[in-house]
Amino acid sequence: MAGYVFGLVLHPTRDVSEVVGLIGRWAVRHGKTLAVRAEDRHRVPASVEALPADQLAARSDALISIGGDGTMLGALRSAVRTPKPVLGVHLGKVGFLVEVEPPELPRALERLVAHDFTVESHACLACDVCGDDVVAFNDIALVRQPGAGFVAATLAVDGQRYGFYRCDALVVSTPTGSTAYSYAAGGPLVSPATQAVVVTPSAPMAGISRSVVLSPDESIHLELRPDSAPVAVEMDGLVIRDAATEGSVHVRYVRDAGLVVRLDPRRYQERNQLKLSLLDLPLLPEQLRELLPDGLREQLNRRELPPPR
Q: Which residue ranges form the domains of the chain, and what is each CATH number?
A: 5-116 (3.40.50.10330), 124-255 (2.60.200.30)
Provide the 3-class DSSP secondary structure of residue 246. coil
* Catalytic residue from among 69, 128, 217, 294: 69
pLDDT band, very low/low/confident/very high, at 274 (cuts 50, 70, 90): very low
Tell me how many degrees the CA angle 186-187-190 measures, rounded to the nearest 5: 145
Express as a percent the part of the chain with pLDDT over 70: 83
User: 170 near 150, Cβ under 8 Å?
Assistant: no
Q: Contact at 8 Å (CB) between 172 and 190?
A: no
Active site residue 132: no
Residue 307, pLDDT above cutoff 60 = no
CA 132 to chain centre: 21
Q: How far apart are CA 199 and CA 90, in angstroms?
A: 29
**Three-class SS of residue 116?**
coil
Contact status, residue 187 vs residue 94, Cβ threshold 8 Å:
no
Q: What 3-state class would DSSP assign to 210?
A: coil
Per-residue pLDDT of 96-135, as tens digits, reads 677 888 999 999 999 999 999 999 999 999 999 978 899 9
Helix or strand (DSSP H, E) at 109: helix 105-113
pLDDT at 48: 97
Q: Which residue has the higher pLDDT, 99 or 207?
A: 207
3-class state of residue 54 by DSSP? helix
Residues tagged in the binding site annotation for NAD(+): 69-70, 138-139, 166, 168, 203
Helix (H) or strand (E) holding 157: strand 151-157
What is residue 183's predicted lDDT score, i.e. its pLDDT?
Answer: 92
3-state secondary structure (DSSP) of residue 261? strand
| Model pLDDT, residue 106 | 94
Structure confidence at residue 201 (pLDDT): 98
Supply the angle between the helices 17-30 and 105-113 in degrees, to the nearest 10: 50
Q: For residue 130, what pLDDT is reported?
A: 79
What pLDDT band is residue 282 in, cutting at 50, 70 and 90? low
190 and 152 in contact (C-beta within 8 Å)? no
Averaged pLDDT of the chain: 88
* CA 124 to the chain's CA centroid: 10
Strand pairing partners for 135?
Answer: 126
**CB neighbour burial string for 82-108, b if at least 16 within 10 angstroms, e if fewer:** ebbbbbbbbbbeebbbbbbebeebeeb
pLDDT at 189: 87
Question: Quick one: pLDDT at residue 148?
Answer: 85
Averaged over 254-279, what is the pLDDT? 70
Note if the pTM is more than 0.85: no
77: exposed, middle or buried (C-beta count within 10 Å: 0-12, 13-18, 19+)? Answer: buried
Q: How confident is the model at residue 181 (pLDDT cuts 50, 70, 90)?
A: very high
pLDDT for 18 beyond 80: yes
Q: Rounded distance, CA 232 to CA 129, Å? A: 11
Give the model confidence (pLDDT) of 139-175 as tens digits.
999 999 888 899 999 999 999 999 999 999 999 999 9
